[in-house]
Amino acid sequence: MLYVVIIYLWTALLLYLLLGGADFGAGIIELFTSDKNKDKTSNTLYRAIGPVWEANHMWLIIVIVILFTGFPEIYSTVSTYLHIPLAIMLLGIIARGTAFAFRHYDAVQDEMQKVYNKIFRYSSFITPLFLGIIAGSAVGGRIDPNASGFADAFIFSWLNLFSFSVGLFTVAICGYLAAIFIIGEARTDAGRKRYIIKARSMNIAAALAGILVFFAAGLSGIPLAKWLFGNPVGIVAITAALISLIAQWRLISKGKIIIIRVLAGFQIAMILLATTYYHYPRVIVMKGGGYLSLLEHRGDDKAITALALALLIGSLFILPALVYLMYSFQKKKPALK
């Protein structure tokens, strides 16, 4: 049952990155769209994600519940030392969720729209930034349970080059996912061409951010290359991600909408696999060699069994409903030339 829970944890994280990430990416794209196209882009995006956005962000709650039920020591440790970036990420989540709903549901469409838009776009950038910072900080080895001062314990645990670069990389990936997604939502050829350019630029941004991560790792003494390429799974995963990337570049202008979405999702899954595989079963790597492991520091076994059952039974209801939701609102796009 422990492995059921671990698989759900990883999968929920991946789904949050893909689905919630695409949502964040929507705002990121709007942020980097020229003023004259902003409205068209946000309308297209809204049409695409409107029905599913609430459900997309549920995966984060699933991750949190799995952590505090099955791995409470990990949850408490992260909540203590990464309190500040978690709080900032929370503020981003609040701002983004409410701004998104408010801008659509406000009965009067006036100057307030500008306010909602600004809040939506900036928070769409900040939230994945801090999500990445938290991810990077988990394994960056700066969390110090023996820290003496406030700064060492609660600031330098996350405020460092490596974490920030992982944050930027996460932002770029989210933007990229949304860009790939929106290509299939375009209703005009002009729109589609615009989005293809967007996807390529986001791709380049992600590549640059990726290079920054390696650079930052090198400066910080983090053996990132060893983590990713020092084991067969990592090598295969990164290679698969690269192949998928190349395939997307070639298929992007051929209108193979479903395939490029699947490939983009696959690519991100491979990146996540490569980055988590090396450390598994450790999820927190601390300063001085300490760590927290999903196996060694798991919670009570009965609680984990109950959790696994709740997840399995819940999935029976949720997954078909979710798939049906996404499918229903994807039908019958007007034909593109």
Partner 1 sequence: MNDFIAARSQMALSLAFHIVFSCIGMVMPFFMAVAHYYYLRSGKIVYRNVTKAWSRGVAIFFATGAVSGTVLSFELGLLWPAFMKHAGPIFGLPFSLEGTAFFIEAIALGFFLYGWDRFNKWFHWFTGLVVGISGLLSGILVVAANAWMNSPAGFEYAEGRYFNIDPLKAMFNDAWFSQALHMCIAAFAATGFAVAGVHAYMVLRKKNIAFHTKAFRIAAVFACAAAILQPLSGDHSAKNVAKRQPAKLAAMEAVFYTQTHSPLLIGGIPDEKSKTVKYGIEIPGMLSFMISGNSGTEVKGLDQIREADHPPVLITHLAFQLMVALGMLMFAISILYFFSLWKKRSWQEKPWLLKLFVLAIPIGFIAVEAGWTVTEVGRQPWIIYGFMRTADAVTPMPGIVYSFYLFTAVYFSLALIVCFMLYRQIKMVPVLYDIPE
Give dist(CA 58, CA 54) in Å, integer. Answer: 7
Nearer to partner 1, 35 or 110 (CB): 110
In the structure encoding, which two tokens stand for residue 134, read together?
């938290």
Give dist(CA 17, CA 11) in Å, integer. Answer: 10
Contact positions with partner 1 (CB under 8 A) in 123-182: 150, 153-154
DSSP alpha helix (H) spans, 184-300: 189-220, 224-229, 232-251, 257-277
DSSP SS3 for 143: strand
What residues pair up with 277 in beta bridges, in sequence order?
none
Measured from the CB of residue 284, what is the shortest distance to partner 1 in angstroms?
14
DSSP SS3 for 337: coil
DSSP SS3 for 292: strand
Helix axes of 21-31 and 161-183: crossing angle, nearest 10 degrees: 90
Q: Is 118 near partner 1 (CB under 8 A)? A: no
Measured from the CB of residue 254, what is the shortest distance to partner 1 in angstroms?
30
- DSSP state letter for 110: S
Give dist(CA 283, CA 268) in Å, integer. Answer: 19
Q: Is 7 near partner 1 (CB under 8 A)? A: no
**Which one of 18, 60, 126, 186 is in contact with partner 1 (CB under 8 A)?**
60
Q: Is 76 near partner 1 (CB under 8 A)? A: yes
Nearer to partner 1, 259 or 325 (CB): 325
Q: Is 79 near partner 1 (CB under 8 A)? A: yes
Give dist(CA 66, CA 72) in Å, integer. Answer: 9
Measured from the CB of residue 124, what is the shortest distance to partner 1 in angstroms?
14
Contact positions with partner 1 (CB under 8 A) in 316-335: 317-318, 321-322, 325, 328-329
Q: Are 275 and 265 in contact (CB under 8 A)?
A: no
Contact letters for partner 1, residues 207-226 (x by CB under 8 A) = --------------------
Q: 10 Å Cβ neighbour count for 188?
A: 13
Q: Is 201 near partner 1 (CB under 8 A)? A: no
Measured from the CB of residue 83, what is the shortest distance to partner 1 in angstroms?
5
Q: Are 143 and 137 in contact (CB under 8 A)?
A: yes
Nearer to partner 1, 64 or 225 (CB): 64
Stretch that binds partner 1, among 26-34, 46-54, 185-193, 250-258 (CB under 8 A): 46-54
- Residues near partner 1, by CB under 8 A: 50-52, 54-55, 57-58, 60-62, 64-66, 68-70, 72-73, 75-80, 83, 86-87, 90-91, 93-94, 97-98, 100-102, 104-108, 150, 153-154, 299-300, 302-304, 306-307, 310-311, 313-314, 317-318, 321-322, 325, 328-329
